[in-house]
């Protein structure tokens, strides 16, 4: 067995985030080492010119300032496809027009409900910043598209239309949806009705527009074309659920991911997808046996800023 010496982190030698993650790798201990190793795998993935890359994540991150990091990844075209949940659109679109606020995990939820305030962890979202503004904006855009004769459209094409509609908004460049549209990066929602954005589409369909079809099969075609045209594939997966599973599910049809970085807070012992470590996906053929991969246990709102700042510095 090769013996690597555990080295102390020397703060006096850290000038950049890349310096920090390199020292984390050398520190040998616990999640710090995993952050360093994961940063290197992510860098290898991004610098591999033969590799097409997928970013998957849950909507909750978009309710926080971590939205800015995801936006920057899309703006810089670091990833070629996004797979996420409908709430990503809810939060991203709502925050263009309204503010979210600081709260705490220990607040009185009964009192918040009486005040019309929704709590997502320690983030507070008033009704006027969420359901009310989304109902107004989503319906407005759908009615315009319908009036132009749109009757059958994929989810990712519809999301591009929403991005296009933001062209005149002063906060557009803060939006993930806007940059997906600008850079023509498909955002795939495997469960498009599971959120306020999708529910507004359902209301529209129910309200005398039953010839309007959100065509999710076109989204699957887009993923299929992506997968089968790739020499290599890599993924940064944040959290589990449908976003993670759709990412690894499709990759099994090409022999598995070549690179995989997974950040999770879930335990492994309950058998859940969110808790399943990347090594388990090898048994299913969803990650290659010779892939570069790692699972990092921890809060993505803490880990992601460090890893992505390190990545950007390595690309200079």
Question: Would 239 be classed as within a structural domain?
Answer: yes
Residue 220's pLDDT is what?
98
Measured between alpha carbons, how far is 137 from 93 in angstroms, rounded to an integer?
Answer: 9
Question: Would 104 be classed as within a structural domain?
Answer: no
Residue 74's pLDDT is what?
98
Question: Would 81 be classed as within a structural domain?
Answer: no
Measured between alpha carbons, how far is 198 from 220 in angstroms, rounded to an integer?
Answer: 18
Please report the DSSP string for 194-257 in residue order.
Answer: SSHHHHHHHHHHHTT-TT-EE-HHHHHHHHHHHHHT-SEEEEEEES-HHHHHHHHHHHGGGT-E
Q: What is the largest CA-CA distance in the chain?
A: 69
pLDDT of the chain, 316 residues: tens digit per residue: 889 999 999 999 999 999 999 999 999 999 999 999 999 999 999 999 999 999 999 999 999 999 999 999 999 999 999 999 999 999 999 999 999 999 999 999 999 999 999 999 999 999 999 999 999 999 999 999 999 999 999 999 999 999 999 999 999 999 999 999 999 999 999 999 999 999 999 999 999 999 999 999 999 999 999 999 999 999 999 999 999 999 999 999 999 999 999 999 999 999 999 999 999 999 999 999 999 999 999 999 999 999 999 999 999 8
On whether the CB atoms of residues 23 and 290 are closer than 8 A, the answer is no
DSSP 162: H
CATH of the domain at 309: 3.40.910.10
Q: Which of 307, 258, 309, 312 shows the shortest CA–CA distance to 39? A: 307
- Name the strands in the sheet holding 101-102, side by side, starting at the edge strand that comes first in the sequence: 101-102, 123-126, 117-120
Residue 171, token pair as written in the block: 């906060």
Name the percent of the chain in helix, strand, coil, to the closest 5. 50, 15, 30
- What is the β-pairing status of strands 152-153 and 213-214? parallel
Question: Would 22 be classed as within a structural domain?
Answer: yes
Residue 136's pLDDT is what?
94
On whether the CB atoms of residues 52 and 66 are closer than 8 A, the answer is no
Number of domains in the chain: 1
Q: Give strand ranges (E) for the chain.
A: 51-57, 81-84, 101-102, 117-120, 123-126, 152-153, 187-188, 213-214, 232-238, 257-264, 287-297
Residue 304's pLDDT is what?
98
Question: Would 305 be classed as within a structural domain?
Answer: yes
Q: What phi and psi, each to the nearest 5 degrees, are found at residue 58?
A: -90, 165
Place of tokens 């089968």: 228
- What is the β-pairing status of strands 81-84 and 51-57? parallel
Question: Would 248 be classed as within a structural domain?
Answer: yes
pTM comes to 0.96
Question: Would 43 be classed as within a structural domain?
Answer: yes
Would you please indicate which residues are annotated as catalytic (active-site) residues?
286
Taking residue 130's Cβ as centre, other Cβ atoms within 10 Å add up to 23
Q: What phi and psi, each to the nearest 5 degrees, are found at residue 289?
A: -60, -30
Residues in the chain: 316
Q: Which of 261, 251, 231, 295 shows the shortest CA–CA distance to 44? A: 261
Question: Would 84 be classed as within a structural domain?
Answer: no
Print the domain residue range for 7: 1-47+231-316
Residue 58's pLDDT is what?
96
Residue 262's pLDDT is what?
98
Decide: helix, strand or coil at residue 48: coil
Q: Give Rg (Cα) of the chain.
A: 20
Residue 270's pLDDT is what?
94
Residue 316's pLDDT is what?
87
On whether the CB atoms of residues 245 and 83 are closer than 8 A, the answer is no
Taking residue 143's Cβ as centre, other Cβ atoms within 10 Å add up to 12
Residue 253, token pair as written in the block: 């049809």
On whether the CB atoms of residues 78 and 46 are closer than 8 A, the answer is yes
């Amino acid at each position: 067995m090769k013996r690597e010496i555990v080295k102390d982190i020397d703060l006096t030698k850290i000038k950049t985030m890349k310096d920090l993650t390199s020292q984390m790798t050398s520190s040998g201990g616990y999640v710090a080492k995993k952050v360093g190793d994961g940063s290197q795998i992510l860098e290898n993935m991004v610098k591999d010119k033969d590799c097409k890359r997928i970013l998957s994540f849950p909507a909750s991150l978009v309710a926080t300032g971590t939205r800015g990091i995801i936006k920057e990844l899309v703006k810089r075209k670091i990833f070629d496809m996004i797979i996420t949940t409908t709430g990503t659109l809810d939060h991203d679109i709502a925050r263009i027009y309204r503010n979210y606020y600081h709260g705490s995990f220990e607040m009185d939820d009964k009192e918040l409900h009486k005040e019309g305030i929704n709590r997502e962890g320690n983030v507070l979202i008033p009704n006027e910043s969420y359901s009310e503004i989304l109902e107004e904006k989503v319906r407005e855009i759908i009615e315009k598209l319908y009036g132009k004769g749109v009757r059958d459209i994929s989810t990712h094409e519809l999301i591009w239309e929403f991005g296009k509609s933001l062209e005149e908004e002063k906060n557009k460049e803060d939006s993930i949806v806007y940059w997906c549209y600008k850079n023509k990066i498909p955002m795939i929602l495997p469960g498009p009705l599971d959120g306020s954005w999708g529910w507004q589409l359902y209301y529209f369909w129910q309200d005398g527009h039953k010839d309007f079809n959100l065509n999710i099969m076109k989204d699957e075609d887009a993923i299929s074309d992506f997968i089968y045209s790739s020499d290599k594939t890599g993924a940064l997966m944040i959290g589990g659920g449908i976003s993670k599973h759709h990412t690894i599910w499709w990759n099994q049809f090409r022999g598995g991911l070549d690179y995989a970085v997974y950040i999770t807070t879930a335990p492994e012992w309950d058998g859940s997808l969110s808790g399943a470590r990347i090594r388990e996906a090898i048994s299913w053929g969803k990650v290659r046996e010779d892939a570069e991969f790692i699972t990092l246990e921890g809060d993505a709102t803490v880990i992601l800023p460090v890893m992505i700042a390190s990545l950007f510095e390595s690309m200079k």
